[in-house]
Amino acid sequence: MTSRIKEVIEKTGFNREKPHLYILTSIIAPFEAITILMLMNIAVSSQNIEVIKSYIEVIKSSIRLSHFAVLMLGYVLGSTYLSYRATKLVKEHLFLSNLSTYAYAREKDDKERLLALFKSSLARSEIPSPITSLILNIITLGLFFPILLHILESNIRKHARSEETLFYNKSLTRETGFSTLLLDLSALLVTLFIYMIPRVLRFVRVFNKHIDTVHTGVKQYPYTQETIIEKPIESPLLGIALILLTISIHSLLSLLNISLIAGIGYVLALPALYTIYTLRNASIYKQIIVAYMIIYLILCSTILIGYIHSNASVPMAESFYKSTRDIHEKFGTDVSSYFEYIFMNNFVISASSIVSTINPVLLFHAIANTGVILGGLSFKLIVEKGLQTIIAMLLFLVWPHVLLELLSYGIFLVLAVNIDNWNWRRILIFFSTALLILIVAAFVESLTIVIGVKSL
């Protein structure tokens, strides 16, 4: 190793990271979720548009919300500082580690190690700059921080596996992938950011473990490689458990007249996506069945939540009912007009969901919104016309066009998860199948509506 390179490494050193600031920031993280939830609840529940024009006035009118908002600001500032600190920490470590590896590789004329160094440099290029991380975290009010932690931890893990292979002839660090990000974000949303505490500790632990394993007391560099690949832990049962836990928490919050009605689809989307993603190596039919069951579960559960939290769902249902009545007056008994309108609505949201693995969030949001509106409509009809309307709402869940639409959505979801790994022939087959089912569903629904209009 050249004296200049050795001087740089010894001056900077490979230091462990302390968890104290991460823990303190994570402790107040839940107040971010609570404050956002309360603001969204006020926005959805309030029928006075003047009240929701300025969140500042809303905060001033509530002492509890003011306190929560201050703590939320504390989390935003703390996570912004940690975004800068953690990004700088990882980038500097990768630079020094690459510098050290380069020096040893030159001494030994080790081409394999130089190749590993090149791969590690590519990983370093994927990490945003500390200033970029800081700005993104401020703009997103701290919501970017858990995503940044995933990016940094993933790159540290890749780097650690590369160096462990060089030093010990095997990889000791487990990989993380997209499913891990989905699982982490799901846990954060379900627990109202309480999960942030173990999340930040995991990042610090992975970094410090790498320092202890590779950069403390390592004196020899073997030249033979025997890589042991450890895949991320993925369990569909864990995803289903998170879905059920999310439904339970939001049902309880609805009973307390506090619920994230406006964004419940996004909250449910992440564990649902994780569940389907973990099954991407299973048979296609198993994936479709699981996706279908998850969609049906989300629709039924959001109907229940919408019924319980009627303060927020009934205004949405009334708005939906008014727009539906306007459509009936416009189309009359014209089946083709209904078909075009229904099919295009369903097709646009379905087609947009397959653009990337994360795009199905939009589809889950649409399904959840539909459920909430139906729940509000059920409450309104029961109040106005009695309990006999419950039978009609239960029958709605087994109407042919509903079952067909949900099946089509399930196929689109499976397509979205697998689109990167499938060839064009398979993509076209499943896309065409889902599209055909969607067409049939739209036609059946159009006929059902026209028959209903004529019978009035």
pLDDT in tens, the chain (456 residues): 455 545 545 555 678 888 888 888 888 888 888 777 777 666 655 544 444 454 445 544 555 566 677 778 888 888 998 999 999 999 988 887 777 766 665 665 555 555 555 555 555 567 888 999 999 999 998 999 999 999 999 999 988 887 777 767 777 888 888 888 888 999 998 888 999 999 999 999 999 998 888 877 544 444 334 444 455 567 889 989 999 998 898 888 878 776 667 778 888 988 999 999 899 888 999 999 999 999 999 999 999 888 888 887 888 888 888 888 888 888 888 888 889 889 988 888 888 788 666 778 888 988 999 999 998 888 888 877 776 667 777 778 888 999 999 999 999 999 988 887 888 899 899 999 999 999 999 999 999 888 876 665
Asked if 376 contacts 313 with a C-beta cutoff of 8 angstroms, the reply is yes
- Domain boundary pick from 146, 181, 214: 214
Per the structure block, which two tokens stand in for 130? 């500390």
pTM listed for this prediction: 0.70
Nearest CA-CA partner of 306 in 212, 361, 374? 374
Phi/psi of residue 231, nearest 5 degrees: -80, 160
> Do 52 and 179 sit in the same domain of this protein?
yes
Q: Do 204 and 255 belong together in one domain?
A: no
The confidence score (pLDDT) of residue 224 equals: 39
Residues 205 and 259 in one domain: no
Whether residue 433 sits in one domain with residue 363:
yes
Structural domain boundaries enclosing 257 = 236-455
Cα–Cα dist 111/47, whole Å: 69
Residues 196 and 84 in one domain: yes
The answer to whether the beta carbons of residues 407 and 444 sit under 8 Å apart is no
Query: Which residues have C-beta within 8 Å of that of residue 209, sequence separation ≥ 6?
Result: 160, 173
For residue 73, what pLDDT is reported? Answer: 81
Q: Looking at the structure, tell me whether residues 255 and 180 fall in a common domain.
A: no
How far CA 71 is from CA of 26, 75, 199, in Å, comes to: 11, 6, 19
Length of the chain: 456
243 and 198 together in one domain = no
Asked if 311 contacts 45 with a C-beta cutoff of 8 angstroms, the reply is: yes
193 and 315 together in one domain = no
252 and 328 in one domain?
yes
Q: State the Cα torsion 269-273-275-277 to the nearest 10°.
A: 180
- The pLDDT value given to residue 321: 82
* 22 shares its domain with 112: yes
Domains of the chain: total: 2
Residue by residue, DSSP assigns 133-175 as HHHHHHHTTTTTHHHHHHHHHHHHHHHHHHHHHHHHSS--SPP
Last residue of a domain, one of 214, 248, 267: 214
Asked if residue 409 belongs to a domain, the reply is yes
In a domain, residue 24? The reply is yes
Report yes or no on 221 lying in a domain: no
Residue 228 lies in a domain: no
Six token digits for residue 272: 């649902």
Do the Cβ atoms of 60 and 66 come closer than 8 Å?
yes
**CA distance linking residue 184 with residue 191, whole number of Å:** 11
**Does residue 209 sit in the same domain as residue 314?**
no
| 222 lies in some domain | no
Angle between helices 178-190 and 145-168 (to 10 degrees): 140
